[in-house]
Amino acid sequence: MTINCKGKLIDLSTPKVMGILNTTPDSFFENSRTQNETELLRKAEIMLRQGATFIDIGGYSSRPDANDVSETEELQRVIPAIEVLIKHFPEILISVDTFRSKVAAEAIESGAAIINDIAAGNLDDKMMHVIAQYQVPYIMMHMRGTPKTMKQLTDYEDLVTDITFYFSEKIKQARALEINDLILDPGFGFAKTIDQNFELLKKSDLFTPFDLPLLIGISRKTMIHKTLDIQPTEALNGTSILNTLALTKGASILRVHDVKEAMECIKLVAHFNK
């Protein structure tokens, strides 16, 4: 359970935390947005100090019904952020949240260590070739359609079976291109109803036979705040509860807005499992 990030082996047998920093003006959780260099550096420093192993940078909001962003604008949002973070934190491991191969390539050239693709190559058929060329770890998420259409694509014969088949096909495609480091993300909130999200969390351990790291991204999402009838700003406690459950189901990486609390979940679950 190790991945190679810029020549550094990261052992995921002990779960790690990925902090979310968005360079978008419309991400669903307002506190994850960074609008200038000072704010970006301040938030990154806090996350790193609190224990984040990875920082995930996104320049395209993939929330339901989000506005489309051109490739040029996404690059203008993401690349300067990578460059300034690496300048101030040379050892930082940056993940870039993009489904576009050109953004992925330029991000890696600028110093990104991981590509986090919500579409697993389905929205850009050149994406896996870029990953193979640069040999960076590749997070493959399950989603149907696009952020604009996914809410209408929630009919499954069997949710977990269908997602398992999806991952098996994606893994086969990646291995054929000799991509070494793969991470699976079941895609909570993407083409799934609230009930389906809870079913997916309950059965996340069924993906462990792939013998690949599992990333869980449920931080402050709809499945929490709509179930509790609260706002995303009030969903930290719910996030911690579900992250704890995710850890018991085999999560290797928690992708979160709140690093300190996620680290506490990991430490407490580890102590519980002694």
- pLDDT of 30 over the 70 cut: no
- Specify the long-range contacts of residues 175-178, CB closer than 8 Å, at least 24 apart: 177/128, 177/129, 177/131, 177/132, 178/132
pLDDT at 60: 87
- Whether the full predicted model's pTM is greater than 0.75, yes or no, is yes
Q: What percent of the chain lies above the pLDDT cut of 70? A: 95
Among residues 151, 172, 221, 267, the one annotated as catalytic is 221
Quick one: DSSP state of residue 157? S
Rounded Cα–Cα distance for residues 36 and 98 (Å)? 20
User: How high is the mean pLDDT of the chain?
Assistant: 93
pLDDT-derived band at 69 (thresholds 50, 70, 90) equals confident
Q: Does residue 65 contact residue 29 with C-beta atoms inside 8 Å?
A: no
- pLDDT of 137 over the 90 cut: yes
Task: Kindly report which listed range (25-34, 58-67, 134-143, 184-193) carries the lowest average pLDDT score.
Answer: 25-34
pLDDT at 64: 67
Rounded Cα–Cα distance for residues 46 and 227 (Å)? 30
Which tokens in the block code for residue 221? Answer: 């999402």
pLDDT-derived band at 51 (thresholds 50, 70, 90) equals very high
- pLDDT of 28 over the 50 cut: no
255: annotated active-site residue: yes
Tell me which residue of 142, 111, 83 sits closest to 5, measured CA to CA.
Answer: 111
pLDDT at 34: 65
Residue-wise pLDDT for 221-267, tens only, equals 999 999 999 999 999 999 999 999 999 999 999 999 999 999 999 99
Q: Does residue 58 contact residue 27 with C-beta atoms inside 8 Å?
A: yes
Among residues 255, 260, 267, 274, the one annotated as catalytic is 255
> What CATH architecture does domain 2-272 belong to?
Alpha-Beta Barrel (3.20)
170: annotated active-site residue: no
How many helices and strands (H and E) does the chain possess?
A: 9, 10
- The helix (run of H) or strand (run of E) holding residue 219 is none
Amino acid letter, 16: K
Residue-wise pLDDT for 72-106, tens only, equals 999 999 999 999 999 999 999 999 999 999 999 99
The structural domains of the chain, with segments of one domain joined by +, span 2-272
Q: Please tell me whether residue 55 adopts helix, strand or coil conformation.
A: strand
Q: Does residue 59 contact residue 24 with C-beta atoms inside 8 Å?
A: yes
pLDDT at 33: 55
